[in-house]
């Protein structure tokens, strides 16, 4: 029976980095090498002061314990492939920007080139594990590539082992996963490979949480889980529109609905919409898959989850404009939070980007504060979001600052776009005292305005019932 002694992980990103660092921590007898073509990223993982390239609570602690012991980061992809018994493919799979399926299908170029590299380099048998989120039946094409290129005497077993961690809680999720899912061919060799990977996880995950299924079920389960999570958000957001039109309170509705044990309270908070690199991409993938399978009704059903999310973001921008007397031209808006959710520096598909793009197109001035996102990243995201506007022009309208209070000073509106905990502690009394007011505007009009804007934010925990005084 195969026993895994050396693991290689191709892709040192948000998934490959934390996942394989935790494997190294929990399996001191296994040598784990994480490789990436991006030298700057690898250098950051190797930096002497542990300035790792992604922000994730608890991650640095894990890396400190294992790096140099049984955890290595390298750009030498071939060497790591050669030495490993088991290889995770954890590369990015973004939505295709052009060609067949553009805007929906996953771009499998990175998966394919990593797979081809394995086929070209390997001189001994390997278990190849698909960790990236991929459309159903990608393992099949990986197998075709590997088998067509393998040398005599070497065999490749393909497993699907999708990752369910959530950014911001990745380390906690990896320490105590709800489940680990492993898909394999139901052949003797397939089951044997599956057992070898299950044994790795069994070092810290209870046996009953390690689920083994067929390859295609495993691939589809990842898309299904993300689609259903996103669907809850779009459902509650759709209800928030009804609440705002009727005066019902979405927090009360969500609380009441979540008490039903069949529904449950999690993932039921209304917000400006979901972001992140996965939900939209994976649903679009499911839409594409449904269409390829000639299931147009199924495709339309899932597509609506994404459309509702777009609607929620634009509805929020519109509310801001409406609340500021139907124009924000020349007005000053603070945006607190730029990451797509709290406890991460990841900005991919962040709702904040869409909002700021809308505000800029209305020629408002925007001041941004986020505790983790770098200035460089913010400029890059805004340039991409406004491709026809030169960066110098954007910079005339946007200021990036280093504290929430600084951002809120002399503004006409404040938007909380990310639910960072530190925003719960903002002294609203001070913010209020330092905000701009329109000439002749009384306290109560002002207060109603602030409350309306904030009401839509993720942070319904924020207590705005502070005493404004007179």
- Which of 66, 194, 278, 386 is the catalytic position? 278
Residues 256-285 interacting with ligand NAD (rule: CB under 6 A): 277-278
Which listed range, 9-17, 308-316, 398-406, 455-463, lies at the site for ligand NAD (CB under 6 A)?
Answer: 9-17
Residues 344-403 interacting with ligand NAD (rule: CB under 6 A): none
Helical ranges in 263-362 per DSSP H: 279-292, 296-323, 351-361
C-alpha to C-alpha distance for 198 and 207, rounded to whole angstroms:
9
Burial string for 210-224 (b: 16+ CB within 10 Å, else e) reads: bebbebbebbbbbbe
Please report how close the Cβ of residue 232 comes to ligand NAD at its closest, in angstroms.
17
Question: From the list 7, 10, 62, 142, which residue makes contact with ligand NAD (rule: CB under 6 A)?
Answer: 10
**Which of residues 275 and 337 has its CB atom nearest to ligand NAD in the complex?**
275
Our finding on whether 136 is near ligand NAD (CB under 6 A) is no
For 433, residues 6+ apart whose C-beta sits below 8 A from its C-beta are none
What is the number of other CB atoms lying within 10 angstroms of the CB of residue 145? Answer: 18
Our finding on whether 36 is near ligand NAD (CB under 6 A) is yes
Cα angle 119, 132, 175; round to 5: 120
Q: C-alpha distances in angstroms, 52 versus 277, 282, 340, 421, 440? A: 20, 27, 19, 22, 51
**Which of residues 15 and 400 has its CB atom nearest to ligand NAD in the complex?**
15
Cβ-proximal residue to ligand NAD, closest one: 13
Question: From the list 14, 302, 369, 432, which residue makes contact with ligand NAD (rule: CB under 6 A)?
Answer: 14
Q: C-alpha distances in angstroms, 464 versus 21, 64, 98, 315, 451? A: 41, 41, 46, 22, 7
**Can you tell me whether residue 340 is helix, strand or coil?**
coil
Cα angle 189, 190, 192; round to 5: 65
Burial class (CB in 10 A: 0-12, 13-18, 19+), 467: exposed
Question: From the list 133, 138, 160, 367, which residue makes contact with ligand NAD (rule: CB under 6 A)?
Answer: 133
Please report how close the Cβ of residue 442 comes to ligand NAD at its closest, in angstroms.
46
Phi-psi region of 294 (alpha: psi -120 to 50; beta: other; left: phi over 0): left
- Residue 278 a catalytic site member: yes
Q: Which residue has the tokens 């909380």?
A: 416
Please report how close the Cβ of residue 341 comes to ligand NAD at its closest, in angstroms.
10
Of the candidates 214, 205, 223, the residue with the CA atom closest to the CA atom of residue 132:
223
- Contact code string over 317-346 relative to ligand NAD, x by CB under 6 A: ------------------------------
Tokens of 88: 């995770």
Our finding on whether 105 is near ligand NAD (CB under 6 A) is no
Our finding on whether 234 is near ligand NAD (CB under 6 A) is no
Which listed range, 59-67, 89-97, 234-242, 462-470, lies at the site for ligand NAD (CB under 6 A)?
Answer: 89-97
What is the number of other CB atoms lying within 10 angstroms of the CB of residue 401? Answer: 16
Please report how close the Cβ of residue 433 comes to ligand NAD at its closest, in angstroms.
40
How are beta strands 71-74 and 210-214 bridged, if at all? unpaired
**Which of residues 349 and 358 has its CB atom nearest to ligand NAD in the complex?**
349
Our finding on whether 183 is near ligand NAD (CB under 6 A) is no
**Which of residues 26 and 131 has its CB atom nearest to ligand NAD in the complex?**
131
Our finding on whether 163 is near ligand NAD (CB under 6 A) is yes
Please report how close the Cβ of residue 212 comes to ligand NAD at its closest, in angstroms.
19
C-alpha to C-alpha distance for 254 and 57, rounded to whole angstroms:
28
Our finding on whether 132 is near ligand NAD (CB under 6 A) is yes
Please report how close the Cβ of residue 177 comes to ligand NAD at its closest, in angstroms.
12
Our finding on whether 92 is near ligand NAD (CB under 6 A) is yes
Contacts to ligand NAD by CB under 6 A: 10-16, 35-38, 41, 77, 90-93, 110, 113-114, 132-133, 163, 165, 167, 277-278
Query: Which residue numbers are catalytic?
Result: 278
């Amino acid at each position: 029976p195969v026993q895994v002694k050396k693991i290689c992980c191709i892709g040192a990103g948000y998934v490959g980095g934390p996942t394989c660092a935790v494997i190294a921590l929990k399996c001191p007898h296994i040598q784990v090498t994480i490789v990436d073509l991006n030298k700057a990223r690898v250098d950051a993982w190797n930096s002497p002061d542990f300035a790792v390239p992604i922000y994730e609570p608890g991650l640095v602690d894990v890396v400190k314990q294992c790096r140099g012991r049984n955890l290595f980061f390298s750009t030498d992809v071939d060497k790591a492939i050669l030495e490993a018994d088991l290889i995770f493919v954890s590369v990015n799979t973004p939505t295709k920007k052009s060609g067949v399926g553009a805007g929906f299908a996953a771009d499998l170029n990175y998966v394919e080139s990593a797979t081809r590299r394995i086929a070209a380099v390997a001189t001994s048998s390997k278990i190849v594990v698909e960790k990236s989120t991929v459309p159903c039946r990608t393992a099949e094409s990986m197998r075709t590539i590997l088998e067509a290129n393998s040398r005599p005497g070497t065999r490749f077993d393909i497993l699907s082992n999708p990752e369910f961690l959530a950014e911001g809680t990745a380390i906690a999720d990896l320490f105590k996963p709800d489940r680990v899912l492993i898909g394999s061919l139901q052949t003797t060799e397939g089951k044997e490979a599956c057992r070898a990977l299950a044994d790795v996880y069994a070092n810290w995950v209870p046996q009953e949480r390690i689920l083994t299924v067929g390859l295609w079920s495993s691939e589809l389960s990842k898309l299904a889980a993300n689609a259903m999570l996103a669907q809850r958000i779009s459902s509650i957001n759709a209800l928030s529109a009804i609440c705002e039109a009727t005066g019902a309170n979405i927090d009360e509705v969500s609380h009441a609905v979540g008490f039903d044990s069949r529904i449950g309270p999690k993932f039921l908070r209304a917000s400006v919409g979901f972001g992140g690199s996965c939900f939209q991409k994976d649903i679009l993938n499911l839409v594409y898959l449904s269409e390829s399978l000639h299931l147009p009704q199924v495709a339309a059903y899932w597509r609506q989850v994404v459309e509702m999310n777009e609607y929620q973001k634009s509805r929020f921008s519109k509310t801001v404009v409406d609340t500021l007397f139907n124009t924000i031209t020349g007005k000053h808006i603070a945006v607190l939070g730029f990451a797509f959710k709290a406890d991460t520096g990841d900005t991919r598909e962040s709702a904040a980007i869409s909002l700021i793009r809308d505000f800029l197109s209305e020629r408002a001035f925007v001041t941004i504060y986020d505790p983790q996102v770098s200035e460089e990243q913010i400029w890059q995201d805004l340039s991409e979001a406004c491709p026809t506007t030169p960066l110098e022009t954007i910079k005339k309208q946007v200021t990036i600052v280093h504290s929430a209070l600084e951002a809120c000073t002399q503004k006409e509106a404040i938007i909380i776009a990310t639910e960072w905990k530190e925003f719960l502690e903002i002294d609203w009394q001070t913010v209020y005292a330092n905000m701009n007011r329109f000439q002749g505007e009384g306290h109560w009009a002002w207060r109603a305005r602030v409350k309306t804007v904030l009401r839509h934010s993720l942070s319904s925990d924020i207590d705005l019932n502070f005493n404004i005084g007179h």
